[in-house]
Amino acid sequence: MLRNQSFAASAFLALPLALLGCLSESTSSEDFGDLNARHAKAQDSWKVLEGSELRGFLVRFEESTAEGSVLLSVRNRHNQDLGWIDQLGRAWRYRPHEDPEWVSTGSTVQGVRGILGLGEGVHLQGCALDELPPGQ
């Protein structure tokens, strides 16, 4: 009798595990409009200087589509992406475990200053893409 009870208990406990093996995952090729991933290629880059000190980089990405939308990636001196500036001059800074934070709307330099937390003495100096340090 004890053997039958332990067998019944084992079978009862094994049932949920067996059902878990029946779960499956499906994917969709649904069109999500603006939320679809898009391919953009780095086109230009600049060093961000405060006085003569290197503070970061600005990298211009452009889509290869007919619209050719542009996105400016703002990076620190270690080439870590900290935020972006869109075609309308809106600057956003990434925040860990949160949504990006809107910093400013205005010129590219204003956006770079806001994202990197820099003062008035900021200027951009053109550089080749291969001059950027390896990304972290």
Using a 10 angstrom Cβ sphere, with 0-12 exposed, 13-18 middle and 19 or more buried, the burial of residue 39 is exposed
Using a 10 angstrom Cβ sphere, with 0-12 exposed, 13-18 middle and 19 or more buried, the burial of residue 96 is exposed
Query: Does pLDDT of 19 surpass 60?
Result: no
- What local confidence, expressed as pLDDT, does residue 49 receive? 97
**What's the rounded Cα separation, in Å, for the pair 96 and 10?**
45
- More confident position, 39 or 122: 122
Give the pLDDT mean for 81-109. Answer: 95
Give the pLDDT mean for 31-40. Answer: 63
Tens digit of pLDDT for each residue in 41-62?
889 999 999 999 999 999 999 9
User: Would you say 128 and 47 are in contact if contact means Cβ atoms under 8 Å apart?
Assistant: no
**What's the rounded Cα separation, in Å, for the pair 68 and 25?**
35
User: Is 0.75 topped by the overall pTM?
Assistant: no
